[in-house]
A and B are shown apart, each in its own frame.
Chain A
Amino acid sequence: MLLYLSMLDTEEEKDKFTEIYQQYQHFCWYVAFQLLGDAHLAEDAVQDAFLALTRHLDKVEDVESQKTRKFLMTIVKSKAVDILRKQHGEISVDELPGEPAASDADVLGAYITKENYNHLISCILELDEAYRVIFEYKYVHQLSDREIAQILDITPKLVNVRYFRARKKLQQMLEKEVAGHAGK
């Protein structure tokens, strides 16, 4: 009975995967193409994204929901960013795992207020995709560092490093944005 149920589950997952692919293949390609500017590289990113999705199908509840669309968008964007990273050579020094320096005081929290919401939006829209995807995985899709690491094929420690870098970047942007607005 258990075996039957496990087989059924696999078949259901297979159907779900095919459904997702058929529904979002072009959407995913378009997202990747916008970042990469190359049709074939975009195909590679789509393929990598769907391969990563096979391991996280349980996170997709409703194939047609906006949530699924967003989840796929983040995965494809992160895979496209990976391709860009590979294209630009080795990992940059700031990518190397290491504890965030003590001087890099995390004051982002101070800027995340209802009053600064519009500034936050404009900063996020300008934020580099490489940083944005980490925030999306964490706050929009509510994934843990380990889950993000699995999708990105990196270590949870590196996920944490990237997250801190992203926070720092956003903080710098917000600082400028808020200061600029106050100056006006």
Chain B
Amino acid sequence: MQENKKDTVQNGAQKTKKEQKEALQKELLAEAFNACMEEQMSFIPPEREIARMHTFSDEFQASMEELCRTKGKIRKQEATRREFVFGFNRIAACILLMLVVGGVCVGGYLISERGIGGSSTGSTAEYSTEGSTEETVAESAEQAADTALPEEEQTDQTAAGTDLAEAEEQMLPSESDGIRMLISSPVVDRDMETVKVTFGNLTEETVSYSRDLELQVCIDGVWYVVPKLHTEQEEAEEQDAQTQPGTAEVKLEAGMAQDEEIQLSEYRLDYEAEKYRVVSRIDGRLFGSEFRFETLEEGLEEALDGSLDSSEQ
């Protein structure tokens, strides 16, 4: 018992001795380094003398002034802002990606549903999103329906779930003999509601054109007429126009131009289609001016650029 006590006392004493030694070493080191620093400082000339030796550069002075004014806060804020912008861009990119994936999925589903849900294959629409077996069934059903149609109707195409009639004329000029028909923009945003068409008369005589513009779509190199989505009221209005001939005719004097608009919302559009054109009859001749919808990638790039610009601002 007594030996244990002795050991504990001895250990305690050793510990204290060790601690004291360490403290002394620390003290000596601090003293020695302090002395060395003082010696080093004793060789440094006074401020005025150094000022005469060296003039600070303008760049240095400007940045130090800024540092004094802000106490370095601007730099910290800049770093934080850079981190924020970087973070924000990443979030924006993620959201865009999710929107694109969502959009593609929904769009794909809708297109497949409408495409199969047309006149001849309505009963097979439900199979479109299911497995490959169902797809094969749907395809074969479609083929069967196609072969059942009369030969004349077989030239018609289905776009966005609507039967399309082949255009009266495939090759149409947009300009001929001083008469022009121009689309305001050859690439149209997908969310655009109208497309502006300008009729120009560079001849010396008055010409007349039809205000009843026709929208045509090009599928596999063949132009088809895109039918309008009619409401009952619109149908009645159209019938009235037909019973009163001449109301859709517009006179365009020599050297004059006139803008017309075609309402895109009146048509069922397939945005993935190759190209579209607006067709009108001018002085009995058909004219067409082409445009296309921006691709999904173009739209995305634009949206991304916009978001980056706004975040940079």
Contact = CB atoms under 8 A, between A and B. Distances in A.
B44 to A, nearest CB: 6
B37 A47 contact: no
A39 B36 contact: no
- Label chain A's interface by main secondary structure: helix
Which residue, of A70, A74, A112, A113, has the highest number of chain B Cβ atoms within 10 A? Answer: A112
Contact of A140 (B22, B37, B54): B37
Given A30-B44, A125-B36, A112 B28 contact: yes
B71 interface: yes
Contacts of B30: 139-140
A25 B48 CA distance: 11
Interface string A41-59: 0010011001100110100
B172 to A, nearest CB: 68
Interface size class of A (residues with CB under 8 A): 35 or more
A69 interface: yes
Given A43-B57, A139-B30, A50 B51 contact: no
Given A26-B50, A26-B54, A50-B67, A43 B60 contact: yes
Interface stretch (A13-21, A93-101, A145-153): A13-21
A121 B36 contact: yes
A58 B51 CA distance: 28
B131 interface: no
A145 B281 CA distance: 86
B72 interface: yes
A30 B45 contact: yes
B63 A139 contact: no
Interface residues of B, number: 36
A120 interface: yes
Contact of A29 (B33, B56, B69, B72): B56
A119 to B, nearest CB: 10
Contacts of B22: 109
B26 interface: yes
A155 to B, nearest CB: 19
Given A26-B50, A109-B25, A47 B33 contact: no
A116 to B, nearest CB: 9
A27 interface: yes
Contacts of A17: 67-68, 71
A114 B37 contact: no
Contacts of A55: 72
A140 B64 contact: no
Contact of B40 (A13, A18, A73, A113): A73
B300 interface: no
Contacts of B54: 26, 29-30, 33, 39
A124 interface: yes
- Label chain B's interface by main secondary structure: helix
Contacts of A85: none
A47 B63 contact: yes
Interface string B25-64: 1101110111111111100110100110110110010011
B81 interface: no
A40 interface: yes
B50 A120 contact: no
Contacts of B71: 10, 13-14, 17, 54, 57
B196 interface: no
B41 A121 contact: no
A135 B25 CA distance: 13
B90 interface: no
A31 interface: yes
Contact of B41 (A70, A135, A136): A70
A45 B47 CA distance: 17
A47 B67 CA distance: 9
A40 B57 contact: yes
Given A26-B51, A47-B64, A47-B67, A140 B33 contact: yes
A117 B22 CA distance: 15
A23 interface: yes
30 contacts: A14-B68, A14-B69, A14-B71, A17-B67, A17-B68, A24-B47, A25-B56, A29-B54, A30-B44, A33-B54, A43-B57, A46-B60, A47-B64, A47-B67, A51-B72, A55-B72, A70-B34, A73-B40, A73-B41, A112-B24, A112-B25, A120-B28, A121-B36, A124-B32, A124-B33, A125-B39, A132-B33, A139-B33, A140-B33, A140-B34
Interface of B: 21-22, 24-26, 28-30, 32-41, 44-45, 47, 50-51, 53-54, 56-57, 60, 63-64, 67-69, 71-72, 75
Task: Rank and list the top 4 A-B pairs by shortest CB-CB distance, nearest first.
Answer: A54-B72, A26-B50, A112-B25, A139-B30
